[in-house]
Structure formats: C-alpha cells, structure tokens
C-alpha cells in the first residue's frame, strides 16, 4: 500500500510538471525545474508541521509534569523528559534548516 501511494505521488508530480509547461519538448533540466516548486511547498509544509507538533509536545510535557506532581506513580518523569526533548528538537529543526540554507558565512579565527 505504501509503495502504491509513493509511486502515485511521484507520478502525479511528474505529470503536473509536464502539464504546467508550455514547451513542446522536455529535457531533464525542464523536469527538474518544474519539480522544484512542489518540493519547496512540501519543505515549507514540513517546517510548519514541525513547529506545530513541537509546540504540542511542549504543552503535553507541561501537562504530564503537572500530573507527575500530583501522582508520580501515574505518569513517570521519563515521559515528561521525552516530550520536552522531542518538542525542543522539533522547534529547532526548521530554524536550523533556515540558518544552514541561508548561507551565513562562518569565520574561523
């Protein structure tokens, strides 16, 4: 099932790249240029979802910590720490991507 979905997605991207072009003959460069727009949209979507899921994990960690304070046996502290670390990593992921893709020069002294 997963292979079918992936192959249909790839086929849809290729067909949409051909349909968007008005050129009669296609080269590999034309196909690559037309496929870059869906890739950038997907990249922005993944970044946005990473921020949303990261904030949700941080909120869940806060709620689990409040439950831990009331009854430590009901929710272990490892769940709180896991949600906290996961939330921080997911929040920092889009920021690190933007910093590395912007081409900020690093100077070594």
Question: What is 19-64 written as a DSSP string?
Answer: HH---SS--HHHHHHHHHHHHHHHHHHHHHHHHHHHHHHHHHHHHH
The verdict on residue 109 lying in a domain is: no
Average pLDDT across the chain, whole number: 81
Read off the pLDDT of residues 6-54 as tens digits, 9 standing for 90 and up.
777 877 767 666 655 555 556 777 777 777 777 778 888 889 999 999 9
**What's the pLDDT score for residue 10?**
78
**What's the pLDDT score for residue 58?**
96
**What's the pLDDT score for residue 5?**
80
Phi, psi at residue 31, to the nearest 5°?
-65, -45
pLDDT of 76 strictly over 80: yes
**What's the pLDDT score for residue 19?**
57
The verdict on residue 106 lying in a domain is: no
**What's the pLDDT score for residue 107?**
66
pTM: 0.64
Provide the number of structural domains found in the chain. Answer: 1
**What's the pLDDT score for residue 98?**
80
- Range of 65's domain? 2-101
């Amino acid at each position: 099932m997963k292979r079918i979905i992936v192959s249909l997605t790839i086929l849809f991207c290729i067909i949409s790249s051909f349909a968007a072009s008005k050129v009669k003959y296609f080269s590999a460069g034309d196909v690559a240029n037309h496929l870059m727009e869906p890739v950038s949209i997907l990249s922005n979507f993944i970044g946005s979802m990473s921020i949303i899921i990261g904030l949700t994990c941080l909120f869940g960690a806060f709620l689990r910590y409040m439950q831990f304070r009331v009854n430590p046996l009901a929710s272990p502290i490892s769940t709180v720490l896991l949600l906290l670390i996961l939330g921080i990593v997911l929040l920092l992921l889009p920021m690190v991507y933007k910093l590395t893709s912007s081409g900020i020069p690093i100077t070594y002294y």
